[in-house]
Structure 1
Amino acid sequence: MSKLNVKRLYKEDINNFLPLIQELMGHRLDDAILKERFKEMFDHKYECHGIYVDETLAGVFGLWFATRHYCGKTCEQDHVYIKPEYRSMGLGKQVFKWIYNYAKEKGCETAELNSYVENYPSHKFYLNENYVIKGYHFLKSLD
């Protein structure tokens, strides 16, 4: 199992982590659009963290903090991505252990996330982490 280091990333670090977000999304959005969206995200209860292995950025994830009526204070994991060459090394388990500890330190009672319907490997991972499927996430374009 590889040793990882999780480091908080800020607005100024966007050029470092944006390529990983683009890999996760399949390069569906223009960099300028993503930069503008992340700029706004950082102004809310959002944090971005890098996953480093031997000082190399191997992955990225975001965390949203909120209080929800159905689960209390929660930490929502967002855009969890580990580069393909770093997968199957146990990093995911280490990252989620770090997230759970960090969220507890911030007073969170629960952890939650969304996963793309077609991302079957992530479903298996999250179910093994004892996540429970509670519903469907719906999205409607307003253009």
Structure 2
Amino acid sequence: MQVTFKLLKGEEAEIILPYLDIMNEQKVPMDLLKARFAEMLTQHYEAFGIYDSEQLIGCFGLWSTTRHYCGKSFEPDHVYIDEAYRSKGIGKQLFEWIEVYGKEKGVTTIELNTYVQNFPSHKFYYNQGFNALGYHFLKKI
């Protein structure tokens, strides 16, 4: 298996929309999800495909920002790997790749959110050296 991570630009990035829909716990309608995703691509956000040779097997996004408490950072978002490819070390490879890519861009910190009930992801992120620092709160207005 030859896993690669590819930056997707413009309309090419829409190839990952089916994966975003799978993760869509808020059940945002596809037309709205597509519009929001297009807007994200105009902000400090990059979309990536995860490939096994030429086959798309997952996706993730990276938000870039500078925060007063940690400097320049990446926030991986909507990390998804097809079920048939899980537990094969791809997630570990991905986060090693993100670190290298981040260092090339002057990033000093990686931070992320994960759903409270997603216990397998918590274990994974702890194993990758992440620490839980707080809660992410959300209020719709």
Does TM, normalized by the shorter one, top 0.5? yes
- Residues 14, 35 of structure 1: 8 Å contact kept: no
- Residues 50, 59 of structure 1: 8 Å contact kept: yes
Give the percent of matched residue pairs that are identical in Structure 1 and Structure 2. 50
Equivalent residue, structure 2, for 1:124? 123
Opposite residue 141 of structure 1, the aligned amino acid is: K
Q: Shift of residue 28 of structure 1?
A: 1.2
Equivalent residue, structure 1, for 2:74? 75
Equivalent residues in 2 for 1:16-27, closer than 5 Å: 16-26=15-25
- Residues 73, 109 of structure 2: 8 Å contact kept: yes
- Residues 11, 38 of structure 1: 8 Å contact kept: no
Equivalent residue, structure 2, for 1:47? 46
Equivalent residues in 2 for 1:1-143, closer than 5 Å: 2-26=1-25, 28-142=27-141
Opposite residue 29 of structure 2, the aligned amino acid is: D
Q: Shift of residue 25 of structure 1?
A: 1.9
Q: Report the RMSD for the aligned CA atoms in angstroms.
A: 1.2
Deviates more, 1:7-16 or 1:78-87: 7-16
- Residues 13, 47 of structure 2: 8 Å contact kept: no
Q: TM-score, normalised by structure 1?
A: 0.94
Aligned residues: 141
**C-alpha distance in structure 2 between counterparts of 1:14 and 1:63, whole Å:** 13
Q: Shift of residue 13 of structure 1?
A: 2.0
Higher-RCO chain (CA-CA 8 Å, sequence separation at least 6): 1
**C-alpha distance in structure 1 between counterparts of 2:14 and 2:60, whole Å:** 15
Q: Shift of residue 89 of structure 1?
A: 0.8
Q: TM-score, normalised by structure 2?
A: 0.95
Q: Shift of residue 14 of structure 1?
A: 4.0
Identify unmatched segments of 5+ residues in structure 1: none
